[in-house]
Structure 1
Amino acid sequence: AATATATATSVSAVGAGVGVSPRVLSDASVEVQLAAATELESLLLSGQREAACKHAVAHGMWADALLLSSHMNEQTWRSVMAQFASRAHVRGSPLGTLYALFAGCGTDALAADTANDTDKANDAEDVIGATTSCAEDRWQENMAMMLANPTAGDTDVILQLGDRIWERFGAAA
């Protein structure tokens, strides 16, 4: 009964826009997560780090994917970070924008093209869908995030966001 109450409360919280861990939502999701973790462990036990990283990304196991990719190569880490920024964060969120910059997306973090195809060769393009259109709606937060957390090449992104704000809102911004 306590589990049913916790599940009902969690579902209500999700409906209200409150972030709730998927582990609380249902027994089925716990089983799926355990199966994914078991497969990840199996891949790593057999020395298949790249396959394990891809598996972690495919199952939204972002901590595992980011940790594994950080022990592979810079291109893989940037790819995983770009996918994380795109898939795990709301469009236009300051965190998504910052993580896109961490991934080295540069001005693409604010690009107008919102195509989100997971089979793209350049995963940095995946992050575009996570940061466009609403980036201008939340421009103060996005700007504050970039200014508080400087990254290489962020000056161009800040200038681009400023240009977009001027075009969209004019002097009122």
Structure 2
Amino acid sequence: MSPINLKATSSFQTLEITVLSCEDLRINGRSVKKNTCVVVRTDPLNFRETTTDTEGGSYPSWDQKLALDMSIRETCITLEVHCRTLSVDRIIGSARMPVNDFMGGYFPQGYLSFLSYRLKDPKGLDNGIINVSAVFESNPFVKMLGKLMQSEASDRHTPAEKDGRARKVDAELGLGI
């Protein structure tokens, strides 16, 4: 069995974001009629998008869960609302969602946050609101490592007992030690 690349494994976490809805979307001051979707991106190559809402007009609704693997070094996620026709895909509003809004010292791992952000059109003017929920989960290795570190900090064992517990975790991860 090949060993797990610890550097690659521990540097990514999974963001589960549910795109709920938008409010008061406009194009050139007029209400949006239909065909809106949301693109959630951490960088130009790492993104997910919702299905197209064809009936919601200026108040579209998706209630769609998207999962993104992202580096633990990311500081913001970009939310872009697009309006699509046969010939044009136009960004009608975008917002930057700071990672600290749903993950950080105030929120435990796996905490569900409901958030709303003001959208800005390409000219920088206010253009509606986007509503999302987000949960940040670390990968299984990071979770298991955190549990091991937490248990070692909370109780006192002899070095031999600690070594035995570390070997058990290694075996569970398939590190073959």
Give me the TM-score of the superposition, normalised by structure 2: 0.23
**Could you say which structure has the higher strand fraction?**
2
**TM-score scaled to structure 1, two decimals?**
0.23
Which structure has more relative contact order (CA 8 Å, sep 6+)? It is 2
Name whichever structure is richer in helix by fraction.
Answer: 1
